[in-house]
Amino acid sequence: MRAGRERWVLPFATLGFWACYTMIRPLLAPYATMIGASALMTGVVVAAQAVPGALFALPGGAIADRFGNRITTLLGAAVMATGGTVMAATTSVEALIGAQALVGAGGILMWVAIQRAVITPAGGDTARFARDRTIAANSLYVSGGLVAGPLVGGWTAEHFGYRTSFLVFALLAASLLPVALAMPGERATTSPPGSEPRRATTRDRAWSLARTPGMAATLLASFVVLFLLEFRTSFHPLYLDDAGFSPGVIGVIIAVSAAFGVIARPALPHLSRRFGDPALLAICLVTGAVTVGAVAFTGSLPTIFALAAVSGVALGLGQPFLLALVANFTTREERGLGVGMRMVANRSAQWICPLILGGLLSIVGFTGGFAAAAALALLLTIAATRRLQRASGHAGRGPGDTAGS
């Protein structure tokens, strides 16, 4: 029954979550500026959504372990809808920051539960290639949400205003509640929940896992991918708005990136076999950093669309690829922990990126700020690739072989 349910529930949950979650991301920085926030406070507004995610990712995994994916997803959707309602009801910068914190907390609960269901399918573990195909297939629904979300948000903001977009976000989040009720509800672990020794063991296991070369590379690379995605989603709109483009055009540009991510993702298992994990990681991250940073050096709309398409392919491959690496470098019993750790890295990037870029923009402007942020991403890419090379060599495996599962 679970396998049959997964065939429709996980696609609906994934598509709906990402369409909802991304529809307001491109609107936050321009809206915060419109209501009087400084460049630094605009960075705080954007970062506020990611801080709870960085703090709650591991506890969120523990909640899903104890109470199951269904309850965790329900709770997340309700909290997200509450945050959207607050955003629609106020024009205060402080209230906007608080609402974004609620959206971030609800989002992390939903996404941890969905990802755990994806990488631990019914019937147990599968071979690397087959599991990569499953992850790549589900990532198509992620990309579908990434395409739909900015389009809906940009169109609604352009025709009805930012606060109407926030109200639509709240309604979409509430519409995920029936989908959450159909999520697979069984727990992922069989150990007795709730004891202090178990919590201490979880902390020890997380620290031990983070120090292994494979997971260290995966976490660092996940940080870089989300750093670049946050860069693109939140600060490209600010630059494009300053350059005179309308919210609708900005939404289309962001959606183009997501659409090219859709095109690229089915090729993931074959590319991993062809190039090997370290080389594929380097290709994705270097290409993503260069194309995302280059936007501030042009005002040409065709060039901006081209950069959006290339960065969409690079970063669109990066996300499912890194989820596959989590599955590779963890056992079945560690999957929930591994997903939670990756979410910590992701959400940390989503609040660190706005603070760094907000500060850089206030000091050196768009061109210098974008170039410096891209250079930082390239330095982190070198470190992540070297760690993954050591992990692959230590495991003694060739490109695309199964390891650690």
pTM, entire model: 0.69
- Residue carrying structure tokens 């727990």: 187
250-282 pLDDT, tens digit each: 888 888 887 887 788 778 878 888 888 899 999
Closest CA to 353 of 175, 209, 230: 230
Confidence band of 243 (pLDDT split at 50, 70, 90)? confident
Q: Tell me the C-alpha distance between 178 and 13, whole Å.
A: 10
- Output the average pLDDT for the chain: 81
pLDDT in tens, 88-121: 988 888 889 999 989 988 988 888 888 877 776 5
- For 36: left if phi > 0, alpha if psi spans -120 to 50, otherwise beta; the answer is left
Q: Among residues 253, 243, 238, which one has the least CA distance to residue 309?
A: 253
> Which of residues 404 and 102 earns the better pLDDT score?
102
Residue 124 backbone class (left: φ over 0; alpha: ψ -120 to 50; beta: rest): left
Q: Residue 333's pLDDT is what?
A: 65
Q: Which residue has the higher pLDDT, 377 or 121?
A: 377
Band the pLDDT of 356: cuts 50, 70, 90.
confident
Question: How many CB atoms are closer than 10 A to CB 208?
Answer: 10
d(CA 12, CA 70): 14
Please give the structure tokens belonging to residue 349. 């990037």
- Distance in angstroms (rounded) separating the CA atoms of residues 325 and 395: 13
Give percent above pLDDT 90 in the chain.
22
Give tens-digit pLDDT for 58-84.
Answer: 777 777 777 777 888 899 999 999 999
pLDDT exceeds 90 at position 223: yes
> For residue 375, is pLDDT > 90?
yes
Question: What is the arithmetic mean of pLDDT over 169-185?
Answer: 86
**Angstrom distance (rounded) from CA 42 to CA 30:** 8
What are the sequence ranges of the domains in the chain? 2-181+211-395
Alpha-carbon span 213 to 194, nearest angstrom: 31
Q: Which pLDDT score is estimated for 69?
A: 79
Q: Is residue 161 over pLDDT 70? A: yes
Higher pLDDT, 330 or 167: 167
**Contact residues for 232 (Cβ-Cβ < 8 A; gap 6+):** 254, 257, 292, 295, 308, 311, 315
Task: Tell me: pLDDT of 198 over 60.
Answer: no
3-state secondary structure 128-168: HHHHHHHHHHHHHHHHHHHHHHHHHHHHHHHHHCHHHHHHH
Question: 146 pLDDT exceeds 80?
Answer: no
- The C-alpha angle 224, 97, 229, rounded to 5 degrees, equals 20
Q: What is the pLDDT of residue 10?
A: 81
**Burial track 286-325 (b if 16+ CB lie within 10 A, e otherwise):** bbbbbbbbbbbeeeeeeebeebbbbbbbbbbbbbbbbbbb
Q: Domain spanning 2-181+211-395: which CATH class is it, in words?
A: mainly alpha
Does 40 score more than 90 pLDDT?
no
